[in-house]
């Protein structure tokens, strides 16, 4: 359906880490009125689309987004208001054209992604469909409810503890449906909290709502997770609750060496460590196991462990269709993490996912450590049918909003399948 934009404006609001971000409001001539919230990362890939920050130290320590807001309210609004677009994909094309740079640095990826998300939502509203149904039609995919990946222990750039690995996630792969999966996440989270308290650890939370205990060795965390899964009455593993890791290795990589828990490891030694870990613990997926510039290491990692676990690229792929195509050609990884704000538009995100699907690379939709209460990514995960979503812990409103959206969708559409696509 043609999309005629009647109003478009942005406001500087706060994200979940008390940093500024954008809220975008869009109205169509037909009367649809929608909003979108813009997410923001901490462990960002160097090839991500550029997020515009004001750099004015007198406001928010330089983190203000007034320039990006102005770009929406002025240049973008002038270019889009009053024009009729055949679809939201055409709005995305206009945004890319107006920006004119390869990395969205002129208008700012934070300005562009807010408008892109709002345009998709408006397009869905005008078509009378749920957002996930609209996205399924747009990407020609079969919808399904994703396995939620609950990040229950936070380290790296998301917490002030000594843990180098950034994320330890619970993946209820064996749950019969999304309601049971969300319940498993919440129950194991509660048991983990009890275990941590018993062991004398603080149960303070990191940026994504996971606990941030003063532990250093990843294996110690994994032992606690297995105990908590068992305590809660689930089977640790793919037929129950498995574990996924996001070490975010670019963050502890320097000049070819990886610093993990006080040790300096080569890429090969870190792969050895992962091999031991997957032999001992029910780890089914490793995201950013090596650094974004260690492509040779990634190829070796994939050769050695790619037949046993999902090896997902986040900082290395940055949801970029060109980079993912290169990775497929070089047999780097077997899976991609998907973040709309890494590339800047919904259209390019769907394109990255299409390339993955055709090459047999799995995909997981992801939040950012700085989030809004917008649950767009839950619909994106359902509509694209990729089968995986990570949105932090089953705690904190901005994280839970996405899981709750999955529950709402499932309650009404009881025929939607749950889990990994086959
Ligand atoms: P970020 O981390 O949102 O802080 O970049 C998330 C991730 O690395 O997956
Ligand atoms: Zn990551």
Condensed to tens digits (0 to 9), the pLDDT of residues 379-416 reads 999 999 999 999 999 999 999 999 999 999 999 999 99
Residues with CB under 5 A from ligand 2 (ion): 246, 248, 288, 314
Three-state DSSP at 289 gives coil
Distance from C-alpha of 232 to C-alpha of 195, rounded to nearest angstrom: 11
Beta bridge partners of 299: none
| H or E segment and range at residue 13 | strand 3-14
User: What are the phi and psi torsion angles at 254 (to 5°)?
Assistant: -150, 130
For ligand 1, whether the C-beta of 42 sits within 6 Å is: yes
What distance in angstroms lies between residue 417's CA and the mean position of ligand 2's atoms?
26
Average pLDDT over residues 245-272: 97
Per-residue model confidence (pLDDT) at position 307: 98
What distance in angstroms lies between residue 167's CA and the mean position of ligand 1's atoms?
9
| H or E segment and range at residue 181 | helix 178-198
The residue to which tokens 């290395």 are assigned: 316
Residue to substitute in 39, 40, 42, 318 for testing ligand 1 pocket (most ligand atoms within 8 angstroms of CB): 42
Taking only the tens place, the pLDDT of each residue in 100-119 is: 999 999 999 999 999 999 99
Average pLDDT over residues 334-349: 98
Q: Enter the pTM of the model.
A: 0.98
Q: Are 134 and 376 within 8 A, CB to CB?
A: no
Residue 309 binned pLDDT confidence (cut-offs 50, 70, 90)? very high
Q: With 90 as the cut, is the pLDDT of residue 422 above it?
A: no
For ligand 1, whether the C-beta of 151 sits within 6 Å is: no
Q: Which atom of ligand 1 is nearest to the CA of 288?
A: 8
Q: Whose CA is nearest to atom 6 of ligand 1?
A: 368
Q: With 80 as the cut, is the pLDDT of residue 1 above it?
A: no
User: To the nearest whole number, what is the mean pLDDT of the chain?
Assistant: 98
For ligand 1, whether the C-beta of 41 sits within 6 Å is: yes
Q: Are 130 and 181 within 8 A, CB to CB?
A: no
For ligand 1, whether the C-beta of 40 sits within 6 Å is: no
Residue to substitute in 21, 285, 366 for testing ligand 1 pocket (most ligand atoms within 8 angstroms of CB): 366
% of the chain at pLDDT higher than 70: 100
Distance from C-alpha of 318 to C-alpha of 388, rounded to nearest angstrom: 17
Q: Output the CA–CA distances (angstroms, integers) from residue 289 to 56, 102, 170, 204, 227, in the order listed.
A: 35, 27, 17, 26, 24
Q: With 90 as the cut, is the pLDDT of residue 263 above it?
A: yes
DSSP 72: I
Q: Dihedral sign for Cα 218, 224, 228, 230, please.
A: positive
Per-residue model confidence (pLDDT) at position 387: 98
Ligand nearest to the CA of 368: 1
């Amino acid at each position: 359906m043609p999309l005629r934009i009647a109003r478009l404006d942005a406001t500087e609001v706060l994200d979940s880490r008390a940093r500024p971000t954008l809220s975008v409001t869009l109205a169509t001539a037909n009367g649809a009125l929608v909003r979108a919230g813009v997410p923001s990362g901490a462990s960002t890939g160097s090839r991500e689309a550029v997020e515009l920050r004001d750099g004015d130290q007198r406001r928010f320590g330089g983190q203000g987004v007034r320039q990006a807001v102005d770009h929406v309210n002025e240049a973008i609004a002038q270019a889009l208001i009053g024009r009729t677009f055949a679809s939201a994909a055409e709005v995305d094309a206009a945004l890319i054209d107006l920006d004119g740079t390869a990395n969205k640095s002129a208008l700012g990826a934070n300005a562009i992604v807010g408008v892109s998300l709002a345009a998709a939502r408006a397009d869905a509203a005008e078509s009378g469909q749920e957002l996930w149904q609209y996205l399924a039609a747009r990407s020609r995919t079969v919808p399904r409810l994703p396995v939620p990946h609950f990040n229950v222990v936070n380290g790296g750039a998301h917490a002030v503890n000594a843990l180098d690995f950034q994320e330890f996630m619970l993946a209820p792969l064996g749950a019969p449906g999304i309601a049971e999966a969300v319940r498993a996440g919440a129950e194991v989270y509660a048991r983990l909290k009890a275990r941590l308290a018993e062991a004398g650890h603080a149960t303070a939370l990191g940026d994504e709502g996971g606990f941030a205990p003063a532990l250093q060795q990843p294996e110690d965390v994994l032992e606690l997770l297995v105990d908590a899964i068992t305590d809660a009455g689930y089977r640790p593993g793919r037929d129950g609750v498995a574990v996924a890791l996001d070490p975010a290795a670019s963050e502890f990589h320097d000049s070819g060496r990886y610093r993990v828990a006080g040790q300096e490891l080569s890429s090969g030694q870190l792969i050895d460590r992962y091999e031991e870990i997957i032999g001992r613990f029910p780890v089914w997926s490793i995201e950013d196991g090596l650094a974004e510039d260690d492509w040779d290491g990634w190829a070796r990692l994939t050769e050695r462990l790619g037949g046993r676990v999902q090896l997902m690229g986040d900082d290395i792929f940055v949801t970029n269709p060109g980079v993912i195509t290169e990775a497929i050609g070089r047999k780097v990884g077997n899976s991609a993490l998907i973040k709309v704000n890494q590339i800047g538009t919904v259209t390019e995100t769907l394109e990255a996912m299409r390339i993955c699907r055709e090459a047999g690379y799995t995909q997981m939709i992801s939040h950012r450590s700085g989030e809004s209460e917008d649950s767009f990514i839950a619909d994106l995960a359902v509509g694209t049918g990729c089968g995986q979503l990570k949105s932090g812990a089953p705690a904190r409103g901005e994280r839970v909003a996405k899981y709750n959206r999955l529950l709402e969708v499932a309650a009404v559409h009881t025929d939607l399948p749950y889990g990994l696509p086959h």
